Homo-oligomer: A and B are copies of this chain.
Protein backbone atom coordinates (compact mmCIF):
# COMPACT_ATOMS: atom_id res chain seq x y z
CA UNK A 1 0.00 0.00 0.00
CA UNK A 2 1.45 3.40 -0.91
CA UNK A 3 1.26 6.36 1.43
CA UNK A 4 -1.48 8.19 -0.44
CA UNK A 5 -3.70 5.15 -0.50
CA UNK A 6 -3.02 4.60 3.19
CA UNK A 7 -3.95 8.19 4.03
CA UNK A 8 -7.15 8.00 1.98
CA UNK A 9 -8.15 4.74 3.54
CA UNK A 10 -7.32 6.11 6.97
CA UNK A 11 -9.67 9.00 6.40
CA UNK A 12 -12.45 6.60 5.36
CA UNK A 13 -11.90 4.50 8.48
CA UNK A 14 -11.98 7.59 10.68
CA UNK A 15 -15.27 8.70 9.12
CA UNK A 16 -16.73 5.26 9.66
CA UNK A 17 -15.68 5.31 13.31
CA UNK A 18 -17.24 8.75 13.55
CA UNK A 19 -20.51 7.41 12.13
CA UNK A 20 -20.71 4.56 14.64
CA UNK A 21 -19.81 6.90 17.49
CA UNK A 22 -22.44 9.35 16.32
CA UNK A 23 -25.04 6.56 16.22
CA UNK A 24 -24.17 5.19 19.63
CA UNK A 25 -24.10 8.69 21.10
CA UNK A 26 -27.56 9.38 19.71
CA UNK A 27 -28.91 6.16 21.17
CA UNK A 28 -27.24 6.87 24.50
CA UNK A 29 -28.46 10.46 24.62
CA UNK A 30 -31.97 9.30 23.91
CA UNK A 31 -31.76 6.60 26.57
CA UNK A 32 -30.90 9.05 29.35
CA UNK A 33 -33.23 11.85 28.31
CA UNK A 34 -36.51 10.95 26.65
CA UNK A 35 -36.63 7.16 26.13
CA UNK A 36 -39.43 5.26 27.88
CA UNK A 37 -38.25 3.34 30.93
CA UNK A 38 -38.63 -0.28 29.88
CA UNK A 39 -36.81 -0.24 26.58
CA UNK A 40 -33.50 -1.84 27.44
CA UNK A 41 -33.88 -4.93 25.31
CA UNK A 42 -34.16 -3.38 21.86
CA UNK A 43 -31.52 -0.78 22.63
CA UNK A 44 -29.22 -3.52 23.91
CA UNK A 45 -29.55 -5.49 20.67
CA UNK A 46 -28.83 -2.39 18.60
CA UNK A 47 -25.92 -1.26 20.75
CA UNK A 48 -24.40 -4.74 20.75
CA UNK A 49 -24.41 -4.95 16.98
CA UNK A 50 -23.21 -1.38 16.47
CA UNK A 51 -20.32 -1.94 18.90
CA UNK A 52 -19.41 -5.05 16.99
CA UNK A 53 -19.44 -3.19 13.67
CA UNK A 54 -17.46 -0.36 15.25
CA UNK A 55 -14.88 -2.87 16.43
CA UNK A 56 -14.71 -4.60 13.05
CA UNK A 57 -14.34 -1.31 11.23
CA UNK A 58 -11.19 -0.59 13.22
CA UNK A 59 -9.64 -3.90 14.23
CA UNK A 60 -8.84 -5.53 10.91
CA UNK A 61 -5.95 -6.31 8.58
CA UNK A 62 -6.47 -3.19 6.54
CA UNK A 63 -6.01 -0.92 9.55
CA UNK A 64 -2.79 -2.75 10.39
CA UNK A 65 -1.60 -2.27 6.83
CA UNK A 66 -2.50 1.42 6.88
CA UNK A 67 -0.64 1.97 10.13
CA UNK A 68 2.36 -0.03 8.94
CA UNK A 69 2.51 2.10 5.81
CA UNK A 70 2.34 5.27 7.90
CA UNK A 71 5.07 3.98 10.18
CA UNK A 72 7.35 3.19 7.25
CA UNK A 73 6.84 6.73 5.99
CA UNK A 74 6.84 8.46 9.38
CA UNK A 75 9.47 11.03 8.41
CA UNK A 76 7.29 12.25 5.55
CA UNK A 77 4.13 12.59 7.66
CA UNK A 78 2.54 15.88 8.72
CA UNK A 79 2.33 16.57 12.45
CA UNK A 80 -1.36 15.64 12.35
CA UNK A 81 -0.73 12.33 10.64
CA UNK A 82 2.07 11.56 13.09
CA UNK A 83 -0.34 12.16 15.94
CA UNK A 84 -2.92 9.93 14.31
CA UNK A 85 -0.35 7.17 13.92
CA UNK A 86 0.55 7.46 17.61
CA UNK A 87 -3.07 7.46 18.82
CA UNK A 88 -4.33 4.73 16.51
CA UNK A 89 -1.40 2.36 16.95
CA UNK A 90 -1.95 2.50 20.68
CA UNK A 91 -5.68 2.08 20.34
CA UNK A 92 -5.37 -0.84 17.93
CA UNK A 93 -2.81 -2.52 20.15
CA UNK A 94 -5.19 -2.10 23.06
CA UNK A 95 -8.37 -3.14 21.30
CA UNK A 96 -7.17 -6.11 19.33
CA UNK A 97 -6.01 -7.85 22.46
CA UNK A 98 -9.63 -8.05 23.57
CA UNK A 99 -11.52 -10.78 21.70
CA UNK A 100 -14.38 -9.26 19.76
CA UNK A 101 -17.14 -11.30 21.34
CA UNK A 102 -15.94 -10.33 24.82
CA UNK A 103 -15.80 -6.69 23.75
CA UNK A 104 -19.35 -6.86 22.42
CA UNK A 105 -20.63 -8.71 25.48
CA UNK A 106 -19.12 -5.96 27.61
CA UNK A 107 -20.96 -3.25 25.69
CA UNK A 108 -24.19 -5.14 26.20
CA UNK A 109 -23.35 -5.64 29.88
CA UNK A 110 -22.71 -1.95 30.57
CA UNK A 111 -25.84 -0.97 28.68
CA UNK A 112 -27.91 -3.30 30.88
CA UNK A 113 -26.00 -2.38 33.97
CA UNK A 114 -26.67 1.34 33.63
CA UNK A 115 -30.33 0.61 33.35
CA UNK A 116 -30.31 -1.68 36.40
CA UNK A 117 -28.37 0.98 38.31
CA UNK A 118 -31.12 3.50 37.49
CA UNK A 119 -33.73 1.20 39.02
CA UNK A 120 -31.54 0.17 41.94
CA UNK A 121 -30.94 3.81 42.82
CA UNK A 122 -34.61 4.67 42.40
CA UNK A 123 -35.76 1.96 44.77
CA UNK A 124 -32.66 2.14 46.99
CA UNK A 125 -31.81 -1.53 46.49
CA UNK A 126 -28.06 -2.15 46.20
CA UNK A 127 -28.52 -5.92 45.86
CA UNK A 128 -29.91 -5.53 42.35
CA UNK A 129 -26.64 -3.94 41.32
CA UNK A 130 -24.26 -6.49 42.91
CA UNK A 131 -24.19 -9.03 40.05
CA UNK A 132 -23.51 -6.21 37.59
CA UNK A 133 -20.67 -4.54 39.45
CA UNK A 134 -19.16 -8.01 39.91
CA UNK A 135 -19.29 -8.74 36.19
CA UNK A 136 -17.96 -5.29 35.35
CA UNK A 137 -15.02 -5.56 37.72
CA UNK A 138 -14.26 -9.07 36.47
CA UNK A 139 -14.38 -7.97 32.81
CA UNK A 140 -12.19 -4.93 33.47
CA UNK A 141 -9.54 -7.06 35.16
CA UNK A 142 -9.71 -9.63 32.38
CA UNK A 143 -9.37 -6.97 29.69
CA UNK A 144 -6.39 -5.19 31.23
CA UNK A 145 -4.68 -8.51 31.75
CA UNK A 146 -5.06 -9.30 28.05
CA UNK A 147 -3.54 -5.91 27.34
CA UNK A 148 -0.79 -5.43 29.89
CA UNK A 149 -0.29 -8.68 31.78
CA UNK A 150 2.71 -7.27 33.67
CA UNK A 151 1.09 -4.06 34.88
CA UNK A 152 -1.07 -3.63 37.94
CA UNK A 153 -4.60 -3.74 36.51
CA UNK A 154 -5.63 -0.51 38.20
CA UNK A 155 -2.66 1.36 36.72
CA UNK A 156 -3.76 0.27 33.27
CA UNK A 157 -7.30 1.44 33.95
CA UNK A 158 -6.10 4.79 35.28
CA UNK A 159 -4.03 5.30 32.17
CA UNK A 160 -7.09 4.77 29.96
CA UNK A 161 -8.59 7.95 31.35
CA UNK A 162 -5.41 9.91 32.04
CA UNK A 163 -2.43 8.55 30.17
CA UNK A 164 0.67 8.23 32.33
CA UNK A 165 -1.10 8.45 35.68
CA UNK A 166 -0.43 5.58 38.10
CA UNK A 167 -1.27 4.70 41.67
CA UNK A 168 2.05 6.30 42.63
CA UNK A 169 1.13 9.63 41.06
CA UNK A 170 -2.23 9.58 42.77
CA UNK A 171 -0.88 8.47 46.14
CA UNK A 172 1.52 11.37 46.00
CA UNK A 173 -1.24 13.74 44.87
CA UNK A 174 -3.73 12.70 47.53
CA UNK A 175 -1.04 12.59 50.22
CA UNK A 176 -0.17 16.19 49.40
CA UNK A 177 -3.71 17.50 49.53
CA UNK A 178 -5.51 15.23 52.00
CA UNK A 179 -4.14 16.72 55.22
CA UNK A 180 -4.44 20.43 54.33
CA UNK A 181 -7.94 19.91 52.96
CA UNK A 182 -9.10 18.01 56.03
CA UNK A 183 -7.58 20.69 58.24
CA UNK A 184 -9.38 23.44 56.36
CA UNK A 185 -12.64 21.53 56.62
CA UNK A 186 -12.03 21.09 60.33
CA UNK A 187 -11.28 24.77 60.93
CA UNK A 188 -14.42 25.77 59.07
CA UNK A 189 -16.48 23.48 61.29
CA UNK A 190 -15.65 25.67 64.26
CA UNK A 191 -16.63 28.99 62.71
CA UNK A 192 -19.97 30.51 61.83
CA UNK A 193 -21.48 29.27 58.55
CA UNK A 194 -23.09 31.78 56.20
CA UNK A 195 -26.85 31.53 55.70
CA UNK A 196 -27.71 29.55 52.57
CA UNK A 197 -31.30 28.67 53.39
CA UNK A 198 -32.57 30.94 50.62
CA UNK A 199 -31.06 28.53 48.08
CA UNK A 200 -33.54 25.91 49.23
CA UNK A 201 -36.70 27.89 48.75
CA UNK A 202 -39.01 26.96 45.90
CA UNK A 203 -37.44 27.76 42.50
CA UNK A 204 -39.83 26.72 39.70
CA UNK A 205 -38.20 24.65 36.97
CA UNK A 206 -39.60 26.94 34.28
CA UNK A 207 -37.65 29.91 35.66
CA UNK A 208 -34.53 27.83 36.19
CA UNK A 209 -34.72 26.97 32.49
CA UNK A 210 -34.69 30.68 31.67
CA UNK A 211 -31.64 31.10 33.89
CA UNK A 212 -29.88 28.28 32.05
CA UNK A 213 -30.50 30.10 28.77
CA UNK A 214 -28.92 33.20 30.25
CA UNK A 215 -25.91 31.30 31.60
CA UNK A 216 -25.36 29.67 28.20
CA UNK A 217 -25.32 33.17 26.76
CA UNK A 218 -22.82 34.47 29.35
CA UNK A 219 -20.58 31.48 28.61
CA UNK A 220 -20.82 32.40 24.93
CA UNK A 221 -22.24 29.05 23.83
CA UNK A 222 -23.89 29.34 20.43
CA UNK A 223 -27.35 27.81 20.65
CA UNK A 224 -27.29 26.94 16.96
CA UNK A 225 -24.58 24.43 17.87
CA UNK A 226 -25.20 23.68 21.51
CA UNK A 227 -28.52 22.87 23.16
CA UNK A 228 -29.49 22.31 26.75
CA UNK A 229 -31.71 19.41 27.78
CA UNK A 230 -32.73 17.58 30.92
CA UNK A 231 -31.70 14.29 32.46
CA UNK A 232 -31.18 12.66 35.84
CA UNK A 233 -27.42 12.99 36.08
CA UNK A 234 -26.02 16.09 34.31
CA UNK A 235 -23.59 15.50 31.45
CA UNK A 236 -22.18 17.01 28.29
CA UNK A 237 -22.04 15.06 25.07
CA UNK A 238 -20.66 16.19 21.76
CA UNK A 239 -21.30 14.59 18.40
CA UNK A 240 -18.70 16.94 16.97
CA UNK A 241 -17.47 20.47 17.68
CA UNK A 242 -20.54 21.96 15.98
CA UNK A 243 -23.05 19.70 17.67
CA UNK A 244 -22.72 19.79 21.42
CA UNK A 245 -25.34 18.94 24.06
CA UNK A 246 -25.57 19.94 27.68
CA UNK A 247 -27.99 18.11 29.94
CA UNK A 248 -28.83 19.31 33.41
CA UNK A 249 -31.15 18.33 36.21
CA UNK A 250 -33.48 20.84 37.87
CA UNK A 251 -34.18 20.54 41.55
CA UNK A 252 -36.95 22.92 42.62
CA UNK A 253 -35.61 23.05 46.17
CA UNK A 254 -31.94 23.36 45.44
CA UNK A 255 -31.33 26.37 43.34
CA UNK A 256 -27.57 26.20 42.93
CA UNK A 257 -27.55 22.58 41.76
CA UNK A 258 -28.54 23.22 38.15
CA UNK A 259 -26.93 26.68 38.00
CA UNK A 260 -23.48 25.24 38.63
CA UNK A 261 -24.06 22.05 36.68
CA UNK A 262 -24.82 24.17 33.62
CA UNK A 263 -21.58 26.13 34.12
CA UNK A 264 -19.71 22.86 34.70
CA UNK A 265 -21.08 21.13 31.61
CA UNK A 266 -20.66 24.44 29.81
CA UNK A 267 -16.91 24.16 30.48
CA UNK A 268 -16.88 20.77 28.79
CA UNK A 269 -18.93 22.20 25.94
CA UNK A 270 -16.56 25.13 25.42
CA UNK A 271 -13.64 22.68 25.24
CA UNK A 272 -15.35 20.52 22.61
CA UNK A 273 -16.51 23.54 20.60
CA UNK A 274 -12.96 24.84 20.37
CA UNK A 275 -11.28 21.74 18.96
CA UNK A 276 -9.34 22.65 15.80
CA UNK A 277 -11.44 22.63 12.64
CA UNK A 278 -8.88 20.54 10.78
CA UNK A 279 -9.35 17.72 13.29
CA UNK A 280 -13.09 17.32 12.64
CA UNK A 281 -14.27 13.75 12.07
CA UNK A 282 -10.76 12.40 12.72
CA UNK A 283 -9.45 10.35 15.61
CA UNK A 284 -7.87 13.53 16.99
CA UNK A 285 -11.17 15.37 17.52
CA UNK A 286 -12.38 15.69 21.10
CA UNK A 287 -10.87 16.24 24.51
CA UNK A 288 -7.49 14.68 25.15
CA UNK A 289 -8.23 13.05 28.51
CA UNK A 290 -10.76 12.94 31.29
CA UNK A 291 -8.49 14.91 33.62
CA UNK A 292 -7.98 17.73 31.15
CA UNK A 293 -11.70 17.69 30.36
CA UNK A 294 -12.58 17.97 34.02
CA UNK A 295 -10.03 20.74 34.43
CA UNK A 296 -12.10 22.77 31.99
CA UNK A 297 -15.49 22.01 33.50
CA UNK A 298 -14.27 22.68 37.02
CA UNK A 299 -12.37 25.78 35.95
CA UNK A 300 -15.61 27.26 34.67
CA UNK A 301 -17.74 25.93 37.51
CA UNK A 302 -15.52 26.87 40.45
CA UNK A 303 -12.72 29.21 39.53
CA UNK A 304 -14.91 31.38 37.32
CA UNK A 305 -18.47 30.48 38.30
CA UNK A 306 -18.03 30.64 42.06
CA UNK A 307 -15.84 33.76 42.02
CA UNK A 308 -17.23 36.93 43.54
CA UNK A 309 -16.73 38.70 40.23
CA UNK A 310 -18.85 36.23 38.30
CA UNK A 311 -21.57 36.11 40.94
CA UNK A 312 -21.69 39.94 40.99
CA UNK A 313 -22.07 39.97 37.23
CA UNK A 314 -24.92 37.42 36.96
CA UNK A 315 -26.70 38.22 40.23
CA UNK A 316 -28.85 41.09 38.95
CA UNK A 317 -30.34 38.73 36.35
CA UNK A 318 -30.91 36.04 38.96
CA UNK A 319 -32.55 38.56 41.26
CA UNK A 320 -34.91 39.66 38.51
CA UNK A 321 -35.95 36.05 37.95
CA UNK A 322 -36.43 35.26 41.64
CA UNK A 323 -37.26 38.51 43.44
CA UNK A 324 -39.32 36.82 46.15
CA UNK A 325 -37.00 33.93 46.89
CA UNK A 326 -33.98 36.25 47.08
CA UNK A 327 -35.65 39.19 48.74
CA UNK A 328 -33.02 41.00 50.83
CA UNK A 329 -30.18 38.72 49.70
CA UNK A 330 -27.13 40.64 48.44
CA UNK A 331 -24.70 39.43 45.79
CA UNK A 332 -22.13 38.94 48.52
CA UNK A 333 -24.55 36.79 50.58
CA UNK A 334 -25.22 34.74 47.49
CA UNK A 335 -21.49 34.39 46.89
CA UNK A 336 -20.92 33.17 50.43
CA UNK A 337 -23.83 30.75 50.20
CA UNK A 338 -22.70 29.06 46.97
CA UNK A 339 -19.21 28.67 48.41
CA UNK A 340 -20.31 27.24 51.71
CA UNK A 341 -17.99 24.39 52.57
CA UNK A 342 -19.22 21.54 54.67
CA UNK A 343 -19.16 17.78 54.52
CA UNK A 344 -22.04 16.38 52.46
CA UNK A 345 -23.21 13.17 50.88
CA UNK A 346 -23.39 13.76 47.14
CA UNK A 347 -20.19 14.23 45.13
CA UNK A 348 -21.76 16.16 42.26
CA UNK A 349 -23.23 18.66 44.69
CA UNK A 350 -20.25 18.85 47.02
CA UNK A 351 -18.51 22.17 47.55
CA UNK A 352 -15.16 22.87 46.00
CA UNK A 353 -13.22 22.21 49.20
CA UNK A 354 -14.64 18.86 50.30
CA UNK A 355 -14.90 17.63 46.71
CA UNK A 356 -11.45 16.00 46.50
CA UNK A 357 -12.28 13.95 49.60
CA UNK A 358 -15.28 12.47 47.77
CA UNK A 359 -12.92 11.52 44.98
CA UNK A 360 -10.32 10.14 47.35
CA UNK A 361 -12.94 7.78 48.79
CA UNK A 362 -13.85 6.48 45.34
CA UNK A 363 -10.18 6.16 44.43
CA UNK A 364 -9.43 4.04 47.45
CA UNK A 365 -12.50 1.87 46.95
CA UNK A 366 -12.23 1.15 43.25
CA UNK A 367 -8.54 0.41 43.62
CA UNK A 368 -9.39 -2.17 46.26
CA UNK A 369 -12.23 -3.60 44.19
CA UNK A 370 -9.78 -4.18 41.37
CA UNK A 371 -7.02 -5.71 43.47
CA UNK A 372 -9.59 -7.88 45.24
CA UNK A 373 -9.00 -6.58 48.73
CA UNK A 374 -12.70 -5.75 49.09
CA UNK A 375 -15.78 -7.44 47.55
CA UNK A 376 -18.75 -5.74 45.96
CA UNK A 377 -20.83 -6.76 48.97
CA UNK A 378 -18.39 -5.02 51.30
CA UNK A 379 -18.47 -1.90 49.16
CA UNK A 380 -21.42 -0.13 50.86
CA UNK A 381 -19.91 -0.77 54.28
CA UNK A 382 -16.49 0.54 53.20
CA UNK A 383 -18.11 3.48 51.46
CA UNK A 384 -19.96 4.48 54.59
CA UNK A 385 -16.90 3.93 56.77
CA UNK A 386 -14.75 6.26 54.64
CA UNK A 387 -17.44 8.95 54.50
CA UNK A 388 -17.40 8.86 58.28
CA UNK A 389 -13.61 8.92 58.48
CA UNK A 390 -12.83 11.62 55.91
CA UNK A 391 -15.97 13.71 55.99
CA UNK A 392 -17.35 12.85 59.39
CA UNK A 393 -20.82 12.06 58.14
CA UNK A 394 -23.23 9.15 58.21
CA UNK A 395 -24.59 7.81 54.95
CA UNK A 396 -28.31 7.14 55.42
CA UNK A 397 -29.06 5.00 52.36
CA UNK A 398 -27.64 3.49 49.16
CA UNK A 399 -29.19 6.16 47.00
CA UNK A 400 -27.13 8.87 48.65
CA UNK A 401 -24.23 6.53 49.14
CA UNK A 402 -22.67 3.92 46.95
CA UNK A 403 -25.40 4.09 44.29
CA UNK A 404 -25.16 7.84 43.70
CA UNK A 405 -22.85 7.79 40.66
CA UNK A 406 -23.36 6.08 37.33
CA UNK A 407 -19.65 5.55 36.59
CA UNK A 408 -19.08 2.05 37.89
CA UNK A 409 -22.40 0.95 36.37
CA UNK A 410 -21.17 2.25 33.03
CA UNK A 411 -17.90 0.35 33.37
CA UNK A 412 -15.83 3.42 34.16
CA UNK A 413 -13.37 2.26 36.77
CA UNK A 414 -10.31 4.49 37.05
CA UNK A 415 -12.26 7.53 35.94
CA UNK A 416 -12.97 9.22 39.30
CA UNK A 417 -9.41 10.37 40.07
CA UNK A 418 -9.48 12.54 36.95
CA UNK A 419 -12.07 14.73 38.66
CA UNK A 420 -9.64 15.68 41.41
CA UNK A 421 -6.73 15.95 39.01
CA UNK A 422 -8.87 18.22 36.87
CA UNK A 423 -9.41 20.64 39.73
CA UNK A 424 -5.69 20.68 40.41
CA UNK A 425 -4.83 21.22 36.74
CA UNK A 426 -7.30 24.11 36.69
CA UNK A 427 -5.72 25.79 39.70
CA UNK A 428 -2.32 25.64 38.03
CA UNK A 429 -3.77 27.04 34.80
CA UNK A 430 -5.23 29.92 36.81
CA UNK A 431 -1.81 30.61 38.31
CA UNK A 432 -0.17 30.71 34.87
CA UNK A 433 -2.95 32.77 33.31
CA UNK A 434 -2.86 35.32 36.12
CA UNK A 435 0.75 36.08 35.30
CA UNK A 436 -0.40 37.11 31.82
CA UNK A 437 -3.53 39.14 32.60
CA UNK A 438 -5.99 40.05 35.29
CA UNK A 439 -8.83 37.54 35.04
CA UNK A 440 -10.91 39.20 37.74
CA UNK A 441 -11.49 42.35 35.73
CA UNK A 442 -12.70 40.40 32.71
CA UNK A 443 -14.98 38.20 34.77
CA UNK A 444 -16.46 41.19 36.57
CA UNK A 445 -17.51 42.54 33.17
CA UNK A 446 -18.90 39.16 32.11
CA UNK A 447 -16.26 39.12 29.41
CA UNK A 448 -14.82 35.62 29.15
CA UNK A 449 -13.21 36.06 25.74
CA UNK A 450 -9.61 36.47 26.89
CA UNK A 451 -9.86 33.52 29.27
CA UNK A 452 -11.49 31.34 26.63
CA UNK A 453 -8.86 32.51 24.15
CA UNK A 454 -6.03 31.42 26.46
CA UNK A 455 -7.67 28.04 27.05
CA UNK A 456 -8.44 27.57 23.38
CA UNK A 457 -4.89 28.35 22.30
CA UNK A 458 -3.16 26.35 25.03
CA UNK A 459 -5.55 23.46 25.56
CA UNK A 460 -8.71 23.20 23.48
CA UNK A 461 -7.63 23.60 19.88
CA UNK A 462 -5.08 20.80 20.08
CA UNK A 463 -7.61 18.00 20.46
CA UNK A 464 -5.61 14.81 20.80
CA UNK A 465 -2.52 16.13 18.99
CA UNK A 466 -0.46 15.90 22.18
CA UNK A 467 -0.63 13.52 25.13
CA UNK A 468 -2.19 15.14 28.22
CA UNK A 469 1.11 15.25 30.08
CA UNK A 470 2.85 17.16 27.26
CA UNK A 471 -0.14 19.36 26.56
CA UNK A 472 -0.31 20.43 30.19
CA UNK A 473 3.44 20.90 30.52
CA UNK A 474 3.57 23.07 27.39
CA UNK A 475 0.84 25.25 28.79
CA UNK A 476 1.68 25.36 32.49
CA UNK A 477 5.02 23.68 33.20
CA UNK A 478 5.40 20.54 35.30
CA UNK A 479 2.21 19.56 37.17
CA UNK A 480 2.42 20.37 40.87
CA UNK A 481 -0.49 19.93 43.34
CA UNK A 482 0.84 22.83 45.45
CA UNK A 483 -1.00 25.32 43.21
CA UNK A 484 -4.24 23.57 44.01
CA UNK A 485 -3.63 23.60 47.73
CA UNK A 486 -2.53 27.23 47.59
CA UNK A 487 -5.67 28.12 45.71
CA UNK A 488 -7.98 26.29 48.12
CA UNK A 489 -6.21 27.64 51.18
CA UNK A 490 -6.29 31.21 49.96
CA UNK A 491 -9.91 31.04 48.88
CA UNK A 492 -11.31 29.38 51.99
CA UNK A 493 -9.14 31.26 54.48
CA UNK A 494 -10.44 34.49 53.06
CA UNK A 495 -14.04 33.32 52.70
CA UNK A 496 -14.26 32.12 56.29
CA UNK A 497 -11.77 34.51 57.85
CA UNK A 498 -9.83 31.61 59.34
Contacts and interface: CB of A to CB of B under 8 A. Distances in A.
Interface of A: 15-16, 18-19, 22-24, 26-27, 29-30, 33-39, 41-43, 45-50, 53, 206, 223-227, 229, 239-240, 242-245, 281
A243 B42 CA distance: 8
Contact of A49 (B15, B26, B38, B49): B15
A243 B36 contact: yes
Given A26-B27, A36-B243, A37-B223, 19 more contacts: A15-B49, A16-B49, A19-B46, A19-B47, A19-B48, A22-B45, A23-B27, A26-B26, A34-B229, A36-B225, A36-B226, A36-B245, A38-B224, A38-B242, A41-B242, A42-B243, A43-B239, A45-B281, A206-B206
B33 A19 contact: no
Nearest to A48: B19
A265 to B, nearest CB: 14
B46 A22 contact: yes
Given A36-B224, A49-B16, A43 B22 contact: yes
B33 A34 contact: yes
Contact of A27 (B22, B34, B43, B245): B22
Contacts of A53: 16, 19, 53
A243 B35 contact: yes
Contact of A45 (B18, B43, B50): B18
A38 B229 contact: no
Contacts of A18: 42, 45-46, 49
Copies per assembly: 2
A100 to B, nearest CB: 14
B281 A36 contact: no
A476 to B, nearest CB: 32
B42 A22 contact: yes
Contact of A239 (B42, B239, B242): B42
Contacts of A244: 36
Contact of A240 (B42, B224, B239, B240): B42
Contacts of A226: 36
Contacts of A45: 15, 18-19, 22, 281
Contacts of A49: 15-16, 18-19
A23 B33 CA distance: 16
Contacts of A24: 23
Contacts of A227: 34-36
Nearest to A47: B19
27 contacts: A15-B45, A18-B42, A18-B45, A18-B46, A19-B47, A19-B53, A22-B42, A22-B43, A23-B23, A23-B50, A26-B26, A30-B30, A34-B34, A34-B227, A34-B245, A36-B224, A36-B226, A36-B227, A38-B224, A38-B242, A39-B239, A39-B243, A41-B240, A42-B239, A42-B240, A42-B242, A42-B281
Nearest to A17: B49
**CB-based closest 7 A-B pairs:** A19-B49, A22-B46, A23-B23, A39-B243, A26-B26, A42-B240, A38-B224
Nearest to A227: B36
A12 to B, nearest CB: 9
Contacts of A281: 42, 45
A47 B45 CA distance: 19
A23 B46 contact: yes
A47 to B, nearest CB: 8
